[in-house]
């Protein structure tokens, strides 16, 4: 994973959010087809992932892979935690997140960093939020070990990721990972079992798991319909990403890919 290829991968996402007034990059969660806007679906995915995780006025929340900062801001508005640290690998996203939050009275602290080597002290975080970011990590086990290290006893990791049982099939996409274009995949997919086994091996307990594939696919369908309604002729900056997301929707419905939400905890002292 390099800065150059990741920046290229996410450039069309930025163009898409700018064109459609969106605040985040995630795929969204639709409780039922055509039940709301794509922006509403994106927020719904955040709340679905957090599930019943307790976040209070004394909580420290770490958003790993925060993108352009939408979910961090939504969490701050809803829960008003003591602080939110928002970590992002791509410098362009860090700058965009910081600029977009400039007029907020309270804002997350946006920093550049690597999820596989978190720049935080041991036992310093109450909740870690990680949404559609871990699929890019070359060493997911190191990331989960880092989460356990920085979580306080009794703390929570809420992780949403795309998974697959067909890892050999999707490993072929890795051939494009070194290409500095928007068509690189930059994905290294795990299965649900990979996650469950690694959580257990790292001393984390799974409290809740949801296969959200169809809800996410319905959200993508609504989002793609919004893009079509505005027309693709002028969408040169993100047209390829439209078709990328259309393929993702079909793969989620077919079962070749799966979208999973995990809530796990570190044992209390």
Q: What is the pLDDT of residues 157-189, one digit of tens each?
A: 999 999 999 988 877 666 656 555 555 557 889
Residue 62 pLDDT: 98
The answer to whether 247 touches 90, Cβ cutoff 8 Å, is: no
> Which CATH number applies to 3-265?
3.40.50.150
Is a pLDDT exceeding 80 seen at residue 136? yes
Least confident of 47-51, 141-145, 174-178, 220-224: 174-178
Structure tokens at 50: 């957090």
| Average pLDDT of the residues in 77-102 | 91
Least confident of 78-87, 123-132, 198-207, 223-232: 223-232
* b (16+ CB within 10 A) / e for 212-247: bbebbbbbbbbbbeebeeeeeeebeebbebbebbee
Is a pLDDT exceeding 90 seen at residue 13? no
Backbone angles phi, psi at 67, to 5 degrees: 60, -130
Structure tokens at 179: 């290409």
Taking the CB of residue 114, how many other CB atoms lie within 10 A of it? 15
Residue 238 pLDDT: 77
- Residue 192, SS3 per DSSP: helix
Instruction: State pTM to two decimals.
Output: 0.93
Is a pLDDT exceeding 90 seen at residue 1? no
Residues paired with 261 in a beta bridge: 160, 210
Work out the mean pLDDT of the chain and round it to a whole number. Answer: 90
> Predicted confidence band at 25 (pLDDT cuts at 50, 70, 90)?
confident
> Predicted confidence band at 258 (pLDDT cuts at 50, 70, 90)?
very high
Is a pLDDT exceeding 60 seen at residue 93? yes
Higher-confidence position of 6 and 213: 213
Domain boundary assignment for the chain: 3-265
């Amino acid at each position: 994973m390099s800065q150059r290829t990741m920046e290229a991968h996410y450039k069309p996402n930025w163009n898409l959010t700018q064109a459609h007034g969106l605040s985040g990059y995630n795929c969204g969660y639709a409780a039922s087809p055509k039940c709301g806007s794509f922006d509403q679906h994106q927020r719904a995915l955040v709340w679905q992932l957090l599930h019943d995780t307790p976040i209070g006025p004394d909580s420290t929340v770490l958003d790993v892979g925060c993108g352009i900062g939408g979910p961090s801001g939504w969490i701050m508005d809803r829960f008003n935690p003591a602080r939110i640290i928002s970590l992002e690998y791509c410098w362009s996203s860090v700058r965009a997140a910081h600029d977009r939050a400039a007029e907020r009275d309270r804002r997350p602290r946006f920093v550049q960093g690597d999820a596989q080597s978190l720049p935080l002290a041991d036992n310093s975080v109450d909740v870690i939020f990680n949404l559609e970011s871990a699929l890019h990590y070359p060493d997911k086990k190191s990331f989960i070990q880092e989460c356990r290290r920085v979580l306080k006893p009794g703390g929570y990791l809420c992780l949403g990721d795309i998974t697959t049982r067909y890892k050999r099939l999707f490993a072929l996409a890795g051939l494009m990972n070194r290409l500095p274009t928007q068509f690189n995949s930059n994905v290294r997919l795990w299965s649900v079992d990979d996650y469950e086994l690694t959580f257990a091996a790292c001393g984390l307990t799974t409290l809740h798991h949801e296969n959200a594939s169809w809800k996410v696919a319905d959200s993508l369908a609504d989002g793609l319909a919004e893009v079509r309604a505005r027309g693709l002729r002028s969408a040169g900056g993100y047209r390829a990403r439209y078709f990328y997301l259309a393929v993702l929707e079909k793969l989620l419905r077919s079962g070749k890919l799966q979208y999973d939400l995990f809530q796990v905890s570190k044992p209390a002292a």
